[in-house]
Amino acid sequence: SQYTVIGSDRVFVQIIRTHDLQPVCAYSQCDVSIRSLAITHDQK
């Protein structure tokens, strides 16, 4: 796996690269809970 998705109970999601643990993207607090997240190989 190239990426790891980390979430918290504060509705924060972070995507990091597995090989060097560098952050790729972060989604800060939202008004609603995130129930699912899909990562595609073509980044669309």
- For the chain, what percent of residues have pLDDT higher than 90? 18
Does 37 or 26 have the greater pLDDT score? 26
The pTM score is 0.62
Q: With CA atoms as reference, report the closest residue to 19 among 3, 43, 30.
A: 3
Give the model confidence (pLDDT) of 28-40 as tens digits.
776 777 777 777 7
Q: Is 42 left (phi over 0), alpha (psi -120 to 50) or beta?
A: alpha
pLDDT of 44 higher than 80: no
Q: With CA atoms as reference, report the closest residue to 1 among 23, 25, 17.
A: 17
